[in-house]
Amino acid sequence: MLPAGVQPAGLALRLNGEPEWAPPVRRAIELDARLLAVDSREGPGLSSLGEIVRAAPMPVVAIGPRFEPGSPAPVRVLALTDGSPTAAAVGPGLTRLLAGSAVPVELLAVAVPALGEAPRERELELARALEELEAAMPGVQVVHRRVEPARSFESVAAAAIRVARESAATHIALSTHGRGRALRFLLGSVADALVRSSPLPLLLVAPPGEPSGG
């Protein structure tokens, strides 16, 4: 889930009145951590992952029920965007985490044309969004920008997992833009689908101004 050499920060005890998801966030803030790792198969689990992402001031790396442990490999990140300003928040989040490092990042946008929209127009729009996203990531080693048309009946999450396998990515990164109490709305539908189906760890970034869970 994390690169070799990363050490645990110790226990985070639950205080009286604290929600179940709060201790790891509080501990990460106390340590001024750059990254918070969550195994959403256990502990607070899937139901509280959205609360953790919204409350944590740092990116959250999470694994879900379909996570497949593999042999250690150099970290390579696939960053997903849909061209929206909210999704573009993955750029600043990764910049704070990876600027100056040797971690390669590939930028991905999955083209799913809206009803009545020409596929080529959507692909050009997403290509421009990827250029802008790369420009907003100074110091990050962006190695490729890719606009990938979704295949027949393929969801955005499924396309992202397919591209991640093709590019030998070790992590999939994206910004969340959910609202409400259910996990789907706390994380956003694509993030929710990836948490539930991705064999890879996810790097989840809450946009600036996202309401905190506490």
pLDDT for res 120:
85
77 within 8 A of 127, measured Cβ to Cβ: no
Q: Spell out the residues 6+ positions from residue 24 whose beta carbon is closer than 8 angstroms to its own.
A: 12, 36, 38, 43, 44, 52
Q: What is the pLDDT of residue 212?
A: 43
Q: Is 195 helix (H, G, I), strand (E, B) or coil?
A: helix
Render pLDDT for 29-74 as a digit per residue (tens, 0 to 9): 998 988 998 888 875 566 688 888 888 999 999 999 999 988 888 9
Instruction: Please state, in angstroms and rounded to a whole number, the distance separating the CA atoms of residues 35 and 190.
Output: 21
The DSSP output letter for 87 is G
The pLDDT of residue 135: 96
141-164 mean pLDDT: 93
Residues in Cβ contact with 31 at an 8 Å cutoff, skipping those fewer than 6 apart: 9
pLDDT in tens, 161-183: 999 999 999 999 999 865 544 44
Tokens of 162: 């397919």
The answer to whether 159 and 111 have CB atoms below 8 angstroms apart is no
Given a cut of 70, whether residue 149 has pLDDT beyond it is: yes
Whole-angstrom CA distances from 208 to 81, 154, 177 are 16, 30, 10
Separation of CA 179 from chain center: 16
Contacts for 180 with CB less than 8 Å, ≥ 6 apart: 186
| Domains of the chain with CATH codes | 64-205 (3.40.50.620)
User: In whole angstroms, what is the distance from residue 80 CA to residue 10 CA?
Assistant: 32
